[in-house]
Structure 1
Amino acid sequence: MGDSHRVGVIGLGVISRAYLDTLANHPAVSIVALADLDATRSAEAAAKIPGAEAVSVESLLARPDVQTVLNLTIPAAHAEISLAAIDAGKNVYVEKPLAVTLDDGRSIVERAASAGVLVGCAPDTVLGTGTQTARAAIDGGLIGRPMSASAVMVTAGHERWHPHPDFYYAPGGGPLLDMGPYYISALIHLLGPVRAVTGAASRLRAERVIGSGPRAGQRIPVEVDTHVTGVLEHVNGALSTITTSFDGVTTTAAPIEVHGETGTLAVPDPNYFDGEVRLFALGGSEWRVLEPQAGYAESSRGIGLIDLVGADGQRPPRAGGDLALHVLETMTTLLRSAAEGRRIELTTTAERPAPVPLTPAEEWQAQHAYGH
């Protein structure tokens, strides 16, 4: 069966809980070290994982037994930590986005290629049964030739629930860089890469009020646009419209809809792994719910890292660096298009990742790094 793949985790904020729940008991990986700027958080996390040790960031990067670094730091630190891990000869799996600037994202992917190590990046939600079943329906011809899609995310802002929401409203934040990776990754899985974008953006107010936690009532500045909309031109000719907003309240729009010549698909929220995929066929009279046909069933955050480990050099990771870089360029170029008022062609591309066969939970949860 071979040894488990050894992982070191850097960054133990809110999102780390979901990753640790998935990875701590998975046979494919062993979490051997955890680090955070707050030593108390790393100590508390390590105490719950047999064999894991709380260490400094520098010590973790220097450890020869760490094969892959799971980078869960805030977006502004993604590039610094990922590049340091790559320079230490380690694979990297990073929380979305890959980086906050395109130049940093390119550096991560290019330096990893030169070093002969792998890069993976969230979101891995698109590997679940929701997005993957929709992809199987498209690839199976259930809507005919796909012509267009819409993606919509509207919320009142994360400061309503997050106790430390500052980074959402600082450079590198905003609704597009925060939530856009889910929707754009899903659109690329469904329709393929993007060749050009046109965008527009605005912001509702200059400051936000923290709504919960020890800083409740404190005002924080808004330094980025908080409503972003645009058009993505896919290489296959399909057009997607996307709206991401921290300035609304809610929406009745489906998170994603894909329109084809012979049908429309309603795709569940790509921030989640599962959900109903619904089909309305040309000539039909009602929506029909499709049974799950593809994807990691009942999966959770961290499945992308398990997928990367399981690829073992035989195929590209499904949540890989090339896709993450293309998603990052799509987002940053959309923001640049909004600022400059013009259509801009992209310089990167990415292959649609390999589809995920329908994989029951008991199967992917039992998969060993080198034993399947």
Structure 2
Amino acid sequence: MEKVNVGVIGCGNISEKYLENLCGIFSQTQVIAVTDIKEEAAKLRAEQFHIPRVCKSSEELLAIPEIDIVVVLTQPGQHAQICEQALLAGKHTYVEKPLALNTEDGRRLVELAARQNKMLTSAPDTVLGSGIQTARKLIDEGWIGRPFGAISHILTGGPESWHPNPAFLYHKGAGPLYDVAPYYVAGLTYLLGPVESVMCSAKKVHEERTITSEPLYGTKIQVEVPTYLAGILTMESGVVATIHHSFDVDATRMDDSVEIYGTEGTLVIPTPCGFSGKIHYRRKGNPDWADIPCIFEYKRDMRGIGVADMASAILENRSQRLSAAFGYHTLNVLEALDISAQEGTAQPIASTFERTEAMLLNPGWGDEQRNRG
């Protein structure tokens, strides 16, 4: 298969899984250059994944004419600036969540991508995995009738117990709202359509956190953002959905699944933070739950599947499955939730998006046997 050249900006913790997949799983991508503000981090990833070129700066990487797609994996505060530079350099651009720190910058990036005639996609790309794709098929085929409600939650004790450098996750542009909620907002809107309005309450439980992971064990983190939130999303379709996220809950009996309620049944789907999991279904009037297998490919941690889809779109001369409008809508919802929590009022959502095509059952993007499980 013809390959699309990829350059990666940002070689931190999350880059390892991206590079593992882009270099070893997806047959249509090849990473030819990496860079990081810490040159040693870039050199480490280059050696680990046999990447031929280590650049000293993002500007050097963006100047490489052979690169078709730039993947931005820096900290959130740098996303908008680097994406703008990449688009101006004539590169299709994929960026980790969030697209930007605010909708003004996000809108500017979407408009720039359109002017440059380049694709722009924002994580999370987990919606392209087997779990959400199987759920989409079931909902689209009417298994639960007309959806009218959904409940989602993920409650954890915080990333300082496992992340090697978690401080940024408590700073502006992160916290559970911008680090965790994007998965659930994207998952819910991908399945149930755009959001019309939101309400949210949030609070900061601790002013300071202590890192208990290595190598920064014992280091104190000043908390800048709320760490406990509950939000209500009212969809354009009339569906009412809730999100409930925290970095403060050390013990809970709730799992990370999402329940979707329809006029003819209930669907329990895996967390949108992952690519697969268990699906449970109960038809109206039937006392028994049924287990539904995830039938689409890419069931393990396939971060980078959005990049692979973008590469496939280039080769097939089509639009990407995760549109710029979809990523911007997610950002719009997150910012509105933030404003609602601060002001105590419902916030309208000005943006919307058109639904894109679903994944193929077997897109043939790589060694499928390695992705079963």
Q: Same fold (TM over 0.5)?
A: yes
The offset of 1:273, in angstroms, is 0.5
Does the 8 A contact of 1:208 with 1:220 survive in 2? yes
Shift of 1:296: 3.9
Q: Which moved more, 1:206-215 or 1:9-18?
A: 206-215
SS at match of 1:113: helix
In 2: Cα distance, 1:34 partner to 1:11 partner: 8
Q: Tell me the residue number matched to 2:48.
A: 48
Alignment-derived partner of residue 62 in structure 1 = 63
AA aligned to 2:19 is L
| Residues 201-216 of structure 1 aligned to structure 2 (within 5 Å) | 201-216=202-217
Q: Structure 1: which amino acid aligns with 2:274?
A: Y
Q: What percentage of residue pairs aligned between the two structures are identical?
A: 39
Q: Which residue of 2 aligns with 1:21?
A: 20
- Equivalent position of 1:37 in the other structure: 37
Write out per-residue CA displacement over residues 224-279 of structure 1, whole angstroms, 9 at most, x where no aligned residue: 11111111011111000111111112433352110011111111011110111110
Where does the alignment leave 5 or more consecutive residues of structure 2 unmatched? 369-373
Measured against aligned partners, the alpha-carbon deviations of 1:84-115 in whole angstroms (never above 9, x if no partner) come to 11111111111111111111111111111111
Output the CA distance in 2 between the equivalents of 1:309 and 1:206.
43
Counterpart CA distance in 2 for 1:306 and 1:164 is: 28
Cα deviation for residue 27 of structure 1 reads: 2.7
Give distance in 2, aligned partners of 1:364 and 1:110: 30
Structure 1's 215 and 50: CA in aligned 2 closer, same or farther, altered over 3 A? closer
Letter in 1 for 2:336: T
Q: Does the 8 Å CA contact 1:98/1:328 hold for their aligned counterparts? A: yes
Work out the number of aligned pairs and report it. Answer: 364
SS at match of 1:48: helix
User: CA offsets per residue over residues 271-316 of structure 1, 9 Å max, x none?
Assistant: 1101111101111122211122445454611111111111237443
1:357 Cα deviation after fit? 2.5
What corresponds to 1:370 in structure 2? none
Residues 1:250 and 1:192: Cα distance change in structure 2 (over 3 Å): farther
Note if contact 2:163-2:213 (Cα within 8 Å) is conserved in structure 1.
yes
Q: Which position in structure 2 is the counterpart of 1:230?
A: 231
CA distance in 2, matches of 1:32, 1:85: 16
Question: What is the aligned partner in structure 2 of residue 218 from structure 1?
Answer: 219
Q: In 2, are the aligned partners of 1:211 and 1:217 still within 8 Å (CA)?
A: yes
Q: Does 1:281 align with 2:283?
A: yes
Q: Is residue 2:346 matched to residue 1:343?
A: yes
Say if 1:199 and 1:228, in contact at 8 Å, map to a contact too.
Answer: yes
Tell me the TM-score normalised to structure 1 length.
0.94
Q: Which moved more, 1:322-331 or 1:303-312?
A: 303-312
Measure, in 1, the Cα distance between the counterparts of 2:100 and 2:227: 19
What is the TM-score with the length of structure 2 in the denominator?
A: 0.94
Give the aligned partner of residue 114 of structure 1.
115
**Amino acid paired to 1:142:** W
* CA distance 1:294–1:237, change in 2 (3 Å): farther
- Map 1:285-296; keep pairs closer than 5 Å: 285-294=287-296, 296=298
Change (3 A) 1:242 1:331: same
Q: Which moved more, 1:288-297 or 1:327-336?
A: 288-297
Q: What is the 5 A alignment of 1:224-263? A: 224-254=225-255, 255-263=257-265
Counterpart Cα distance in 1 of 2:277 and 2:145: 22
Match for 2:237: what amino acid? N
Give 1:215's aligned amino acid. L
User: What RMSD over aligned residues (CA atoms) do the two structures have, in Å?
Assistant: 1.7
- Residue 60 of structure 1 deviates from its aligned partner by 0.3
Question: 1:321 pairs with 312, 324, 329, which one?
Answer: 324
Matched, 1:268 2:270: yes
**8 Å contact 1:191–1:238 — kept in the other structure?**
yes
**1:308 is aligned with what amino acid?**
M
Give the aligned partner of residue 305 of structure 2.
Answer: 303
Matched letter for residue 6 of structure 1: N
Q: Which amino acid aligns with 1:33?
A: A
Amino acid aligned to 1:272: G
> In the aligned structure 2, how far is the partner of 1:352 from the partner of 1:105?
19
Partner in structure 2 of residue 78 of structure 1: 79
- Structure 1 CA distance for aligned equivalents of residues 353 and 7 of structure 2: 28
* Residues 80 and 99 in structure 2, CA contact (< 8 A), matched pair in contact too: yes
Give the secondary-structure state (helix, strand or coil) at the position aligned to 1:24: helix
Does the Cα contact within 8 Å between 1:268 and 1:275 map onto a contact in 2?
A: yes
**2:371 counterpart residue number:** none
In 1, are the aligned partners of 2:27 and 2:365 still within 8 Å (CA)? no
Q: Which amino acid aligns with 2:161?
A: R
Q: Deviations over 1:14-56 (max 9, x none)?
A: 1101111101133311211100011111112112334520112
Amino acid at match of 2:180: M
Secondary structure in structure 1 of the residue aligned to 2:242? strand
**Aligned-pair distance for 1:221?**
0.6
2:11 matched to which residue of 1? 12
Question: Which residue in the other structure is 2:178 paired with?
Answer: 177
Q: Which runs of 5+ in 1 are unaligned?
A: 368-372
> Judging changes above 3 Å, is the alpha-carbon distance between structure 1 residues 15 and 51 closer, same or farther for their aligned structure 2 residues?
closer
Q: Within 2, Cα distance between the matches of 1:122 and 1:294?
A: 20
What is the alpha-carbon distance in structure 1 between the residues aligned to residue 88 and residue 312 of structure 2?
23
